[in-house]
Amino acid sequence: MKKGLIILMVLFMLPINVYAMTVSSRSACLMDTESGRVLFAKDKDNPRLIASITKIMTAILAIESGRLDEVVTVGEEVLTMYGSNIYIELGEKMTLLDLVYGLMLRSGNDAAIVISVFVGGTEEKFVEMMNQKAASIGMRNTVFHNPHGLDEVTQNKSTAYDMALLSSYASKNETYMEIIGTKKYSVQSDRKSYLWYNRNKLLGSYRYCTGGKTGYTPKAGRTLVTNASRDGLNLTAVTLNDGNEYQTHEELYEYAFSQYKNYKILDTKKFKIDDAYYPDKIYIKQNFSYPLILEEKELVKVEIKLKKLNQYQDGDVVGLVTVKLNGEEIHHQKVYVQMKNEKKGLFSWIRSWFS
């Protein structure tokens, strides 16, 4: 194998303007959900009590269980719950999907405990699932001890950054986004009917808000996670211990929408390299977009490194494309070759896909 050829494309070097913001929360994080870029942060890595925004994790585990259509019979675990409830009764039957709506719209602690037993077998096993999921997402400063967020007996702690990671992960699930974006939901169990209104006030007061989850305990203060979308920017905001949380979230979003634009840096349809060593087509499999302020365009560089293979077949990896902002890597992906004369059969397509 011979190595060589480095192609460096400078896309857009001016100094970056600094935009100062002050928020009332103890911790805050504003994140682009697609790229994971943090657009604003305040004490984002300090673990704090998170109250009912815990239920984002409970909801996504319930959704990913694949059992939303199954009927759940409320067990004795419901008798231990207090605080914010949807007031389901022992022995009452309701689908898991309806329970998740009650969990997210009305912050039902009773819904949380019933969901945990149904999905996990026991509350303890479900909590293990919560922590395993947190670790897989990259939530390094998070520990869950219960599925609801009450903190008088056991306590859940996380950071604004970790909760933004969780919200970004969950936002890629269509069912989750549909649930948290619902303003009103009616339910009929085997015993009674319910009508729930979403407690997230931002959903009604801010036109770009697409959903979220509220939280409060006396120890944690007011916690809030929301989502908002505008002009191709999909964002999530997290505030911990903030008495003016809705105004904070709106200000964070307005700041981001006024300062940032989502730029497509890599485009699969326009990606082209003319290289004498590879007469066949060189391509990438994924588009890549990234939020930038205007001055940052000048600091974006795309570097493509190709390795010269003595022999290659259709779908082989022949290099790596790396995107850097101000010298720091923000993205990379593999570069492939497509042979012009090879007729692609079923096995060739399968090989290309898995490579």
Q: What are phi and psi of 348, to 5 degrees?
A: -65, -40
CB-CB contact of 296 with 307 (8 Å)? no
Query: What phi and psi values does residue 100 have, to the nearest 5 degrees?
Result: -65, -35
Cα dist from 144 to 47, 48, 122, 135, 284, whole Å: 12, 12, 15, 11, 39
65 is catalytic: no
Q: Evaluate the CA torsion angle 161, 236, 29, 99 in order and state its sign.
A: negative
Tokens standing for residue 34: 């697609």
Do residues 314 and 28 lie in contact, with contact meaning Cβ atoms separated by under 8 Å?
A: no
- C-alpha distances in Å from residue 54, one per residue of 65, 83, 144, 148: 17, 15, 8, 6
From 42, 44, 55, 213, the catalytic residue: 55
| Backbone φ and ψ of 158, nearest 5° | -150, -175
**Which tokens in the block code for residue 165?**
């990671």
Burial letters 292-312, b for 16+ CB under 10 A, else e: beeebebbbbbbbbbbebeeb
Q: Which burial class, exposed, middle or buried, applies to 271 when counting CB atoms under 10 A from its CB (0-12, 13-18, 19+)?
A: middle
Which listed residue (25, 27, 52, 168) is catalytic? 52
Is there a catalytic annotation at residue 158?
no
Q: Which of 25, 27, 84, 107 is catalytic?
A: 107
Tracing tokens 């067990």 back to the chain, one arrives at 75
Q: Are 143 and 155 in contact (CB under 8 A)?
A: no
Q: To 10 degrees, what angle do helices 123-137 and 160-170 make? A: 90
What is the SS3 assignment for 24? coil
Q: Is 186 considered catalytic here?
A: no
- Give me 178's structure tokens: 């549909």
* Catalytically annotated residues: 52, 55, 107
